Structure 1
Amino acid sequence: MPFLLLAIGLGTGLLPASGTAGALLGIPVALALPWLGLSSAWSQAAACLALALLAVPLCGMAERHYGRKDDGRIVADEYLTFPIAMLGLPHAPVVFAVAFLTSRLFDIVKPPPARQLQALRGGLGIVADDVAACLFSLLTNHAIFYFMGPFFRQQGWLP
């Protein structure tokens, strides 16, 4: 079942701290967008929307397969929504690290409306809270790099 392999993040969903392990796959997904020729913010935003929409049925099928709501082995929602947290930001290691940490923080804490979105049924509920968490992460990341950008550039961590 190829959908299951994608839903469990090529096996990362079987590891301890599966959400964090699965979310790490989001880094190469985000890196792939410009490599695929998606260099503008609009094209990357469209790709993020497409990835999130792809995650909904994928996670829904996996949930039905496992017979358990938002089974911890399902991590496609983590890695297919992570690129949202990187929209409009430079692809530098420090940015990926901050985006990863903030997206995990917001996914774990689930500020409103993320927690309420998780209550939606099926794949939509699995993915919607991660989209919300990554949107919170995106706003936080832009604020961090707006205010701390000069420091990061001075350190040579940003172009």
Structure 2
Amino acid sequence: MGVAGCGKSSLGQALAEALGWVYIEGDAHHAPASIAKMRAGIALTDADRSGWLDTLGAELVRHPQGVVLACSALKRAYRERLRAARPGLGFVFLEITRELSLQRVAERAADHLFPVSLVDSQFAALESPVDEVGVLSVDAALSRGEQLNQALAWAKGEGA
């Protein structure tokens, strides 16, 4: 979880593959109206995200054998809704600076629905999960391999 450009999809795919779990791309489950809003540079509201969170919660339930979900989960209330669907759910929080987020989002602009103009809205909405139980904080500036090693050790209960 984390703001745009932090590497949720890349780390999520690598983690799911390493664990032999199902990977779910949260962005693929946004309503068409929400995708249109984001493409138009309009930040999503809690109401826009409500159905999306319900869908993601249902996806978590559908895969009891193990699942990695890449989604922003910016607010504690969003994370609590996902935890309610899947008790014991853990979150890997990819912490990123505004500058690095802007750079990464700009670099992928041609291939992604999320425009650079919305990065600041993500940071404004972010409620850091650092003090929450079941959260591993990982520096988004680390190499993918270092991130994966930290996340795997944590997921396997070997510490953070």
TM-score of the two chains, using structure 2 as the length reference = 0.32
Q: Which has the larger radius of gyration?
A: 1
Structure (1/2) with the larger strand percentage: 2
Q: Which has the higher contact order (CA 8 A, sep 6+)?
A: 2
TM-score of the two chains, using structure 1 as the length reference = 0.32
